[in-house]
Amino acid sequence: MVKRMIIMLLGLGVVLGALVGFKAFEDRLLKRTLDQYLAAPLTISATKAQAQTWGASLSAVGTLKAVYGVDVAAEVSGLVDSITFESGQRVKAGDLLIKLDDDVDQNNLKRYQAQIALAQATNRRNEELLERKLASQSAADQSIAALREAKAWAASTEGLIEQKEIRAPFSGRLGIRQVDLGQYLSPGAVIVNLQTEAPVLVDFSLPERDLPKVAPGQPIDVSVDAYPGERFTGRVTAMAARIDPQTRTLSVQGTLPNDDRRLYAGMFANVVLELPGQAHVIAVPQTAIAPALYGDSVFVVQPQQSQSQPQSQPQSQPQSQSERTPGQPDRRPAGGKPAADPGPVFIVKRRYVKVGEQRGGQVAVTSGLEAGERVVTSGQLKLKDGARVRIDNRVSLDGAPGAGG
């Protein structure tokens, strides 16, 4: 019994050892295969970082603002009796926009005017009687007070009638009408928005360290998303009297002529404040920068180190017509021409950089990159550090043919 038990345990140990050894051999073989496997290179576009000379300037983002802009509102309540404007219309200061129903106020005005006439007649009689000692001074004073009260009520009613005629406070362009004919308006109800068109203001902020560089009269260039590639020129016209203690920034205001009325209040603006002098920068396309919470980075294209190619995937060589054996298929593409060379394979390395000013589609890199180094401009989302890539600059990001980098 003991011998059988020993033999059984030895046999079980041999079986388990064989399984463990086979598993270890399988893992080593799989690891060796994975180590030798090279993923297919990814296709990207790239360009070289260029050393450029930029005029010294400060960049900021801002918002366009009208010199005057208000929501025209009702001062008193009433029913809309007539509307005399159209949405988007240009108006002049004092033009009538809407008129509220004032029939009751007009009747009240007539009553107060009648009271004025009666009070004036009474006052004249009392003055004559007072001269002849036939009336008391108290009666004369009461008639004078009654006349003044009637005039005050009439003036108040005239003012109420005038408030029911809502007019443009200044010249400009109207927005979209917010009221309808016959609608009841409460005091403060918005009727339409009114904005001046030219000139237009741009409000932006700069860090407090730039305070000595800013002064009224300095030229500014403004670009907006509505007109890509265009720049609108103006000048700094005002600066805040203090630094904002919360953000430590200086509020600055510029003025743009806007003679063609193409700029609208509320537009987002990129502002460049021109300074004397020049700056030497390393510039790359904005698309090359990969922003992240832990820092901006670029993928730098580098030559691939020599690696042994897998033996399981030999490169097929093109065969001439004379080299093919009868019955062997022709592996050449249609037309009889050999396949085009896909180009050399590179590797990419992620490198963290510091970026500075942005101008148009270019960004200045202040550290982390040298002039002449090639950076990836499209296809970053599919890349990781050390990935193998091929460069194809034949198509740009907008679908147009691009230049090689």
Taking only the tens place, the pLDDT of each residue in 193-221 is 999 999 999 999 999 998 998 999 999 99
Same domain, 189 and 239: no
Q: What's the one-letter identity of residue 308?
A: S
- Residue with the bigger pLDDT between 304 and 162: it is 162
Q: Determine, yes or no, domain membership for 14.
A: no
Per-residue DSSP letter, 391? E
Same domain, 210 and 269: yes
Q: Determine, yes or no, domain membership for 229.
A: yes
Structure tokens at 82: 């007539």
Instruction: Check which CATH number belongs to the domain holding 88 and give it.
Output: 2.40.50.100
Residue numbers of the domain that contains 106: 102-163
Same domain, 91 and 170: yes
46-50, 135-139, 202-206, 214-218: least confidently modelled range:
135-139
Mean pLDDT (the chain) is: 83
Counting every residue written for the chain, the total comes to 405
pLDDT band at 294 (very low <50, low <70, confident <90, very high): confident
340 pLDDT more than 60? no
How high is the pLDDT of residue 390?
A: 87
Taking only the tens place, the pLDDT of each residue in 167-200 is 999 999 999 999 999 999 999 999 999 999 999 9
Chain position carrying tokens 């005399």: 84
Same domain, 204 and 256: yes
Cα-based distances in Å from 184 to 101, 160, 191, 249: 10, 16, 12, 46
Q: What is the tally of structural domains in the chain?
A: 3
Q: Determine, yes or no, domain membership for 73.
A: no
Same domain, 173 and 237: no
Q: Determine, yes or no, domain membership for 303.
A: no
Taking only the tens place, the pLDDT of each residue in 54-94 is 877 888 999 999 999 999 999 999 999 999 999 999 999 99
For residues 205 and 250, give the distance between their C-alpha atoms in angstroms, rounded to a whole number. 5
Decide which of 225, 258, 277 is a domain's last residue: 277
Q: Determine, yes or no, domain membership for 129.
A: yes
Average pLDDT over residues 21-28: 82
Max mean pLDDT among 22-36, 132-146, 331-345 falls in: 132-146
For residues 328 and 307, give the distance between their C-alpha atoms in angstroms, rounded to a whole number. 33
Q: Determine, yes or no, domain membership for 364.
A: no
For residues 358 and 59, give the distance between their C-alpha atoms in angstroms, rounded to a whole number. 7
Strand partners of residue 352: 297
Decide which of 141, 163, 185 is a domain's last residue: 163
φ/ψ of 188, rounded to 5, equals 95, -5
Q: Determine, yes or no, domain membership for 366.
A: no
